[in-house]
A and B are shown apart, each in its own frame.
Chain A
């Protein structure tokens, strides 16, 4: 088993002689994307023209389908099949695994007459054209026997229980210390249901050749999708070829397969022709997962000097009865600030809403909206600057586990950010700064997000022309995976970037866990690095063992790789010359990474600090971002350009979280009132003013051989809290109910007589 000590050894990536690592090179697949020639799932050209499938979805939150009338739909022009639970082909029962090693279990579509949430698929229509399929779907008549449903989260706290396999974490005596603390905060914060709203709706195109099915789909996890389809159809996974080369956003919402995958494959088999299925935007809101609402009580007890003595974060959240998921909104707080007496934990309410699930920075994203405001409130009570309060509670070791930090630059993020943002311009007395009708204020918040490494493999091939191709069952959901894999491969093998090809998103390739949890770059990248190192060894052996090579007989340990040339001091040849002569069929090797045995001896995270300036319109209650800046420490940065895009993208999600994003539940139907892109308010261009970010120099040698970490989720962690704190600084109105829409702001201003 590897140890983190092995990772501290210098290697081609950490030495970075070619200078490819860290460079802001253009996105590898960028030219395809800007020309519209990157084929996303629904764009894929099938071997013959596909039929089109359209879903019919439930209009009650809980109950039973009592009857379905499909006659009119079946008689409609162009219709090729209409399926309901009564006639859908047999699928393996939900949750079963014929192969115990499958990463995902069976997930049948239209599996029974039970309705478990509004928007669940209840029928499926396939026709020759989209227009015919859509029209026929409207003709399917479904009758239900509705049953009482729990859809009101705030009214259901009495049903909250501990999540499965979980206990509260008590350290010291929180209750005693809180009661004795001279200065306390006890406040509750609310983060509502939010939706990923990936720009590309879920879509699949499927076709069969004999017993084998090919699916092009939009999913973040290649193996998960392949295994789920195989288990559901009760066929070996080797008969499922899943491709997901370009993905129009995921953000956690495409970490699992949906009915488009299952039904397109089933229908293509039944009709003996390709079938494609896309969710409508409205179906995306209900038929795929959302971030659940979280109610968070934060209690802080402090000495007058600001040192925390008592610390509690308790989160109550919800999930669907049939799909357990816990939004771990308190977890992040276990590693953030020092305090001897601590209490953290979660409660879960089972409801009859669509499925809750992971969305960008699950846990941190809603969780930090609470504590990072509570710290602001405590700072004001103590008369301390919010940064100073955090510095006074900066732990030397992980406050909960007692483990050393692998590296922790939170304080530097805050101080550097303060300086660059101009934090000294902030008036600590709220409601003092005016710009016409706008009340102006500034706020800050810390950011923390865990860092993970999962097992992964990669394959790398060099051909007779010296072109190197990296292959991996990995995905790029807009994160820059293609690009950073090309950079890692180029630097590891000492070749120009232009000599590297990257092929991902294919279940035939060596598996990687996919995109999620901000582990993608570190996990997939480390496997690519190991594959590259194995290819270096193979090429070294080839050269020193080949009598026709100028390197023949040379000491292998002196071999260098630079600019496409393999050399021992002044004896050299190009890789193309070597491989073309000595291995004309090319060389293919694989590499793999797995977590080091001792990596968990360290508390390992990415950190940051957000600074925001907002204007609050005194007449309308509208909040406008005026400026936002973030400083982040996330290990070695592989690509300055794509990493910054990721981090500013996350910050903008924080702006949406603070100001506009919410899915309101209609209590009559258990549906979301706003279920389209006009009503669910993701930020638009005009919302985002003067927003920028920077990374601190860092390498975390406990993370992986390259010292890199993830950046995809850190940017949203804490971002919304910085804006909430800025609203308070602008107005003196403390809102604790996200998003901070004009109605809430205005009510607060009026209550203050403003």
Chain B
């Protein structure tokens, strides 16, 4: 089954088994192994990527559904020596330990900051008409789809707080 997606700015056409998830397409067919598989069931967030700028669990999405979509993976955000601001903040705040959840956390952060900037509400949002202020409670709530078993949560919060300050 032929599907064309644009990954990190480059159009890629794949002809793969229709059962292939977006995550496995990225990892097994495009060599982009930065996105991780922690559960394959949409429960952990390790596979988070941005599709048309919105964060999704790529394990829970079939490649064939994404014909024509723009996909950004962790590899598309920055490289060693040229880190994306979110990657830099994670590094400085030690917002990672084993690092396995980290690409997902970072992609999720990028998506989350945009959602907040666009005024999307969360369970913690008291006033739906006011601009979203990324309080600690907002950040925690919005990042709760990304499990970190190493439990770098305080450090991830600190990293995102740094960025939220810049963005807000």
From residue B15, how far is it (CB to closest CB) to chain A in Å? 13
Q: Does B146 lie within 8 Å of A677, measured CB to CB?
A: no
In the complex, chain B residues 123-168 whose Cβ is within 8 Å of any chain A Cβ: 136, 139-141, 143-157
> Interface readout for B1-42 with A: 1 if CB under 8 Å, 0 if not?
000000000000000010110001001100111111111110
Q: Does A34 lie within 8 Å of B87, measured CB to CB?
A: yes
Contacts between chains A and B (CB distance < 8 A), count: 194
Given A478-B98, A685-B153, decide whether A199 and B17 contact each other with a Cβ distance below 8 A. no
Q: Which of B34, B98, B139, B140 contacts A248 (CB 8 A)?
A: B98
Q: Does B151 lie within 8 Å of A278, measured CB to CB?
A: no
SS class, residues of chain B in contact with chain A = loop
Q: Does B149 lie within 8 Å of A198, measured CB to CB?
A: yes
In the complex, chain A residues 641-656 whose Cβ is within 8 Å of any chain B Cβ: 641-642, 644-646, 648-650, 652-653
From residue B72, how far is it (CB to closest CB) to chain A in Å? 12
Residues of chain B contacted by A32 (CB below 8 angstroms): 80, 99
B101 within 8 A of A: yes
Q: Does B91 lie within 8 Å of A31, measured CB to CB?
A: yes
Residues of chain B contacted by A246 (CB below 8 angstroms): 98-99
Q: Does B100 lie within 8 Å of A249, measured CB to CB?
A: yes
Q: Which of B94, B99, B140 contacts A688 (CB 8 A)?
A: B140
> Looking across the interface, which residue of chain B has its beta carbon closest to that of A249?
B98
A27 to B90, CA, bound (A): 10
Given A43-B33, A199-B101, A685-B140, decide whether A35 and B153 contact each other with a Cβ distance below 8 A. no
Q: Which of B32, B92, B147, B153 contacts A677 (CB 8 A)?
A: B147
B73 within 8 A of A: yes
A93 within 8 A of B: no
Q: Which of B73, B146, B149 contacts A197 (CB 8 A)?
A: B149
A554 to B154, CA, bound (A): 52
Q: Which of B19, B38, B75 contacts A37 (CB 8 A)?
A: B75
Q: Does A40 lie within 8 Å of B36, measured CB to CB?
A: yes
Q: Does A685 lie within 8 Å of B38, measured CB to CB?
A: no
Given A31-B81, A131-B17, A688-B140, decide whether A36 and B103 contact each other with a Cβ distance below 8 A. yes
> Looking across the interface, which residue of chain A has its beta carbon closest to that of B106?
A34
Most buried by B among A278, A281, A642, A645: A645
Given A129-B17, A249-B149, decide whether A36 and B34 contact each other with a Cβ distance below 8 A. yes
Q: Does A677 lie within 8 Å of B140, measured CB to CB?
A: no
In the complex, chain A residues 278-297 whose Cβ is within 8 Å of any chain B Cβ: 278, 280-281
SS class, residues of chain A in contact with chain B = loop
A653 to B97, CA, bound (A): 14
In the complex, chain A residues 15-48 whose Cβ is within 8 Å of any chain B Cβ: 24, 26-27, 29-40, 42-43, 45
Q: Does B91 lie within 8 Å of A26, measured CB to CB?
A: yes
From residue A30, how far is it (CB to closest CB) to chain B in Å? 4
Q: Does A685 lie within 8 Å of B156, measured CB to CB?
A: yes
Most buried by A among B35, B37, B140, B154: B154
B83 within 8 A of A: yes
Residues of chain B contacted by A480 (CB below 8 angstroms): 97
B46 within 8 A of A: yes
Q: Does A685 lie within 8 Å of B40, measured CB to CB?
A: no
Given A197-B149, A478-B150, decide whether A27 and B94 contact each other with a Cβ distance below 8 A. yes
> Looking across the interface, which residue of chain B has its beta carbon closest to that of A246?
B99
> Looking across the interface, which residue of chain B has its beta carbon closest to that of A34?
B87
A477 to B98, CA, bound (A): 6
A646 to B136, CA, bound (A): 22
From residue A673, how far is it (CB to closest CB) to chain B in Å? 16
In the complex, chain A residues 216-262 whose Cβ is within 8 Å of any chain B Cβ: 246-251
A36 to B49, CA, bound (A): 12
Residues of chain A contacted by B35 (CB below 8 angstroms): 36
A84 within 8 A of B: no
A541 within 8 A of B: no
Q: Does B99 lie within 8 Å of A478, measured CB to CB?
A: yes
> Interface readout for A629-641 with B: 1 if CB under 8 Å, 0 if not?
0000000000001
Residues of chain B contacted by A31 (CB below 8 angstroms): 80-81, 83, 87, 91
A539 to B154, CA, bound (A): 43
A35 to B44, CA, bound (A): 19
Given A34-B83, A35-B74, A248-B98, decide whether A688 and B154 contact each other with a Cβ distance below 8 A. yes
A677 to B150, CA, bound (A): 14
A710 to B99, CA, bound (A): 20
B52 within 8 A of A: no
Q: Does B33 lie within 8 Å of A249, measured CB to CB?
A: no
From residue A604, how far is it (CB to closest CB) to chain B in Å? 26
A251 to B98, CA, bound (A): 11
A31 to B20, CA, bound (A): 30
In the complex, chain B residues 65-113 whose Cβ is within 8 Å of any chain A Cβ: 73-75, 77-81, 83, 87-88, 90-92, 94, 96-103, 106
> Looking across the interface, which residue of chain B has its beta carbon closest to that of A77?
B17
From residue B108, how far is it (CB to closest CB) to chain A in Å? 10
A682 within 8 A of B: yes
From residue A13, how far is it (CB to closest CB) to chain B in Å? 22
Residues of chain A contacted by B151 (CB below 8 angstroms): 648-650, 652-653, 683, 688
Residues of chain B contacted by A36 (CB below 8 angstroms): 32-36, 73-75, 102-103
Q: Does B38 lie within 8 Å of A27, measured CB to CB?
A: no
> Looking across the interface, which residue of chain B has its beta carbon closest to that of A653?
B151
Given contacts A37-B75, A649-B151, 9 further A-B contacts (CB under 8 A): A30-B91, A31-B80, A37-B34, A281-B39, A478-B96, A642-B97, A645-B97, A648-B155, A692-B154
List chain A positions with a Cβ less than 8 A from chain B: 24, 26-27, 29-40, 42-43, 45, 129-132, 135, 196-201, 246-251, 278, 280-281, 477-480, 641-642, 644-646, 648-650, 652-653, 676-678, 682-686, 688-689, 691-692
